[in-house]
Amino acid sequence: MTLSLSGFSRMTSLLSRWLRFRSIDPSWSELNLPETANIVLVLDNNALSDRLALHLLCRKGAIGSVDASLATSGHMPRHVMLHQLKRSFLRSPQNRPSPHFEAFLENIEHHQDDVPVMVVPVAFFWGRRPGREARGLWGLMTADHWPLSGRLRRLTTLLFNGHHIDVRFGTPYDVKALLNAPAPSASHARRRVVRLLRHQFQQLRQQVLGPDLSHRRTLVRSLLMTPSVRQAISAQAEESGAELPHVEKQAQRYAREIASHTSPQTLWLLYQLLGRLWNRLYDGVKVHGLSRVRELAGTHELIYVPCHRSHIDYLLLSYVMYHHGLTTPQVAAGRNLNMPVIGSILRKGGAFFVRRSFKGNALYGAVFNEYLHQLIRRGYPVEYFIEGGRSRTGRTLPPRLGMLAMTLDSFLRKDSSRPMAFVPIYIGYEKVLESGAYQRELTTGHKKKESPFDVLKVFKRLREPYGQVHVNIGAPLRLDDWLNQHFPDPVRTDHHWRKQAVAALGEDLATRINAAATLNGINLVALALLGTSHMAIEEDLLARQLTLLNALQAHAPATQEMRCAEGTPSEWINHAIDLGMIARCDQTLGPVIVVAEGRAPLLTWYRNNVLHLFARPALLAFAFRHRRQLTLGEIDDLVGTMWPALDNEFFLEETDDREESQTLLQAMTALGLLKATDRGWERGATDDNEQLHWLGAMILPTLERGFLLVSLLLRSPSGTYTAQALEQQSQALAERLTLLQGLNAPEYFDKRLFSGLLDTLIEGEWIHMADDDTIVVSQALDDALRQRRRLFDAPLRRRLHHLLAQPEAQESD
Phi, psi of 773 (to 5 degrees): 70, 15
Q: Which residue has the higher pLDDT, 416 or 198?
A: 198
Residue 595's SS3 state is strand
Question: Residue 513 and residue 651: Cα distance in Å, rounded?
Answer: 9
Q: Is the pLDDT score of 445 beyond 60?
A: no
d(CA 484, CA 499): 16
Give the span between the Cα atoms of 501 and 487, in whole angstroms. Answer: 7
| Other CB atoms within 10 Å distance of the CB of residue 46 | 17
Question: Does 713 or 1 have the greater pLDDT score?
Answer: 713
Residue 110 backbone dihedrals phi, psi, to 5 degrees: -85, -10
Mean pLDDT of the chain: 83
Distance of CA 288 to CAs 126, 293, 520, Å?
Answer: 26, 11, 14
Q: Are 408 and 458 in contact (CB under 8 A)?
A: no
Distances (CA, A) of 481 to 409, 485, 526: 16, 6, 39
pLDDT score of 751: 82
223 phi and psi, to 5 degrees? -60, -45
Between β-strands 72-73 and 83-86, what pairing exists: parallel, antiparallel or unpaired? unpaired
Q: For 752-797, write each residue's pLDDT tens digit.
A: 888 888 988 888 889 989 888 899 988 888 888 887 787 887 777 7
pTM given for the model: 0.77
Q: Write down all domains in the chain, each with its CATH number in brackets.
A: 5-209 (no CATH), 216-515 (3.40.1130.10), 521-697 (no CATH), 700-810 (1.10.10.10)
Q: Between these two residues, 64 and 718, which has the higher pLDDT value? A: 718
Q: Is the pLDDT of residue 458 over 70?
A: no
**Of 46-60, 321-335, 497-511, highest mean pLDDT:** 497-511
Confidence of residue 475 (pLDDT cuts 50, 70, 90): very high
Q: What was the pLDDT predicted at 137?
A: 43
Across 418-436, average pLDDT: 90
* pLDDT of 449: 65
- Rounded Cα distance between 668 and 621, Å, is 9
Largest CA distance in the chain: 98
Question: Tell me: the pLDDT tens digits for 16-25?
Answer: 666 777 778 8
**Exposure of 243 by Cβ count < 10 A (0-12 exposed, 13-18 middle, 19+ buried)?**
exposed
Please state which of the ranges 156-165, 166-175, 355-364 shows the lowest mean pLDDT: 156-165
Band (pLDDT 50/70/90 cuts) for residue 450 is: low
Interior/surface letters 396-413, b for 16+ CB within 10 angstroms, e for the rest: bbbbbbbbbbbbbebbee
- C-alpha to C-alpha distance for 382 and 333, rounded to whole angstroms: 11
Return the pLDDT at 152: 56
CA distance 184 to 199: 21
pLDDT of residue 130: 38
- Quote the pLDDT of residue 25: 81
More confident residue, 743 or 322: 322
DSSP 518: B
Tens of pLDDT, residue by residue over 196-206, are 888 888 778 77
Instruction: Name which of 365, 378, 417 is nearest 228 in CA terms.
Output: 365
| Identity of the residue numbered 663 | T
* Cβ atoms of 537 and 531 closer than 8 Å: no
More confident residue, 654 or 615: 615
Whether 484 shows a pLDDT value over 80: the answer reads: yes
CA atoms of 451 and 340, how far apart (whole Å)? 9
Q: Assess contact for 428 and 638: CB atoms under 8 A.
A: no
Which residues does residue 410 pair with via DSSP β-bridges, in sequence order? none
Residue with more model confidence, 345 or 525: 525
State the pairing for strand pair 301-306/76-77.
unpaired
